[in-house]
Structure 1
Amino acid sequence: MTITNEPVVLLERADIYQGTKPILADVNFHIDKGEFVFLIGRTGSGKSSLLKTLYADLWLQTGSARVAGYELHKIKRSDVPFLRRRIGIVFQDFQLLTDRSVEENLTFVLKATGWKEKADIARRISEVLMQVGLGTSPKKMPHQLSGGEQQRVVIARAMLNEPQILIADEPTGNLDPEVSEQIMQVFKTINTAGTAILMATHNYDLLKNHPARILKCENGVVHES
């Protein structure tokens, strides 16, 4: 595989739709490997629709977009799972399987994405849990974890296949300020190690305390803020 310096995300003249309803017009931006970018904008401004387009939950109808090497304007449905292995997705509501332990939640994802060897699975789970500061919690059930710990599991899950970029949609939306700051530190550590991050947030304290590039959804367009 050739290593290139092409951006991990590149949108050119992209129009973002929710069904037939236009949400954002003529979107042009790129995110480089290892970059940290905030995405802001009021509720209903198109942040989530933009993120969903990037991981092909919404179809790109006009314009072009390339994410982690996949051209979204040409992608086949059968290739979407492979795209998503190169992207980590972190939601605000944790979406953990409540009847399975932390370890079983992560094993489920690895097996679903083609991992076979038990030793490899165990090693990778151990690595990502250490990375998010949960190395001692693999046997715990989700209900035994605090909100912040559950979000750490979600980040660990997103990191399992060593994605080129983490896409996080309001990842601290349900957490109090102190825990939000701890989760932000987890993201910063992951970013410092080389993974690009695009984080949608309403939390202006995060923007103030962690200066980074900002994209803003406003009046149907995306601009640098």
Structure 2
Amino acid sequence: MFSTEPVLSLNQADIYQGGRIVLGDVTFEINKGDFVFLIGRTGSGKSSLLKTLYADLWLQAGTGRVAGFALEKLKPKDVPYLRRKIGIVFQDFQLFMDRNVEENLRFVLKATGWTDQTKMRNRISDVLMQVGLGTLHKKMPHQLSGGEQQRVVVARAMLNEPMILIADEPTGNLDPAVSEQIMQVFQTINNSGTAILMATHNYDFLRKYPARILRVEDGKVLEQGL
């Protein structure tokens, strides 16, 4: 059944970090296929907000739904199921340095319940093609450039065909030309229907790729008019 429910929504949510409220009364929603930038100063609460969305931090007040899961009712055993429905891309690559690209991706598939070797192989090929790394299955991470490593991370996030990709400063460690390539990869993924929420400090992106902007400022999250 086709659902018109938002992929992600928060309603009067308070975001806590270490017992301290960092964002209050947060209300917004993201629909299928949306591209949303999340901007704000370092320390403004962007990462805490994202961590709450993928249940690294618990939602203690207000309500939230991500990929059909109610955050305020989430139990620890539900967290892996929520994370199968969303893709997460971090600034630091968090790849296993002692495994090649294919083994890094296969690890995630196995951890999320895949068992059929042929299906795993096919899915790995699909996501690597999607991010423009179709020939690098057997390369070790240290043989890849920073941009290529980040593409592997994006491919990893796409393995389970997430409803939304949550990216926390995905180009923060990359030079401008490579950042641009990674941004193109996100555009392609978004054009195929996956919603994207990307925290970024790169204001060039906001100019070049007009999209919705959520600004984190003074303990609030505000929709910025275009």
**Aligned residue in 2 for 1:133:** 132
**Aligned residue in 1 for 2:24:** 25
**Aligned residue in 2 for 1:110:** 109
**Aligned residue in 1 for 2:41:** 42
Q: Could you tell me how far 1:4 is from its partner in structure 2?
A: 1.1
Deviation string 1:166-187 (CA, Å, 9 cap, x unpaired) is 0000000000111000000000
**Aligned residue in 1 for 2:222:** 223
1: distance between equivalents of 2:129 and 2:173? 23
2: distance between equivalents of 1:33 and 1:216? 20
2: distance between equivalents of 1:68 and 1:185? 24
1: distance between equivalents of 2:134 and 2:216? 37
| SS of equivalent residue, structure 1 residue 50 | helix
TM-score norm. by structure 1 comes to: 0.99
TM-score norm. by structure 2 comes to: 0.99
**Aligned residue in 2 for 1:66:** 65
The equivalences for 1:183-222 within 5 A come to: 183-222=182-221
Name the aligned partner's letter for residue 182 of structure 2.
I
The number of residue pairs the alignment matches comes to: 224
Q: Could you tell me how far 1:111 is from its partner in structure 2?
A: 0.3
The equivalences for 1:136-175 within 5 A come to: 136-175=135-174
The root-mean-square deviation of aligned C-alpha atoms, in Å, is 0.5
Name the aligned partner's letter for residue 144 of structure 1.
Q
2: distance between equivalents of 1:3 and 1:100? 39
Q: Could you tell me how far 1:19 is from its partner in structure 2?
A: 2.2
- 5+ long unaligned stretches in structure 1: none
What fraction of aligned residue pairs are identical, expressed as a percent? 74
Name the aligned partner's letter for residue 49 of structure 1.
S
Q: Could you tell me how far 1:84 is from its partner in structure 2?
A: 0.1
Alignment pair present for 1:176 and 2:156? no
Name the aligned partner's letter for residue 28 of structure 2.
F
Deviation string 1:97-142 (CA, Å, 9 cap, x unpaired) is 0000000000000000000010000000000000000000000000
Structure 1 residue runs of 4 or more that deviate by more than 3 Å after TM superposition: none
| SS of equivalent residue, structure 2 residue 105 | helix
| SS of equivalent residue, structure 2 residue 136 | coil
2: distance between equivalents of 1:35 and 1:104? 31
Deviation string 1:144-194 (CA, Å, 9 cap, x unpaired) is 000000000000000000000000000000001110000000000000000
- 5+ long unaligned stretches in structure 2: none
1: distance between equivalents of 2:145 and 2:18? 36
1: distance between equivalents of 2:73 and 2:192? 31
1: distance between equivalents of 2:69 and 2:45? 22
Name the aligned partner's letter for residue 19 of structure 2.
T
Deviation string 1:18-40 (CA, Å, 9 cap, x unpaired) is 12100000000000011000000
| SS of equivalent residue, structure 2 residue 73 | coil
2: distance between equivalents of 1:3 and 1:211? 27
| SS of equivalent residue, structure 2 residue 28 | strand
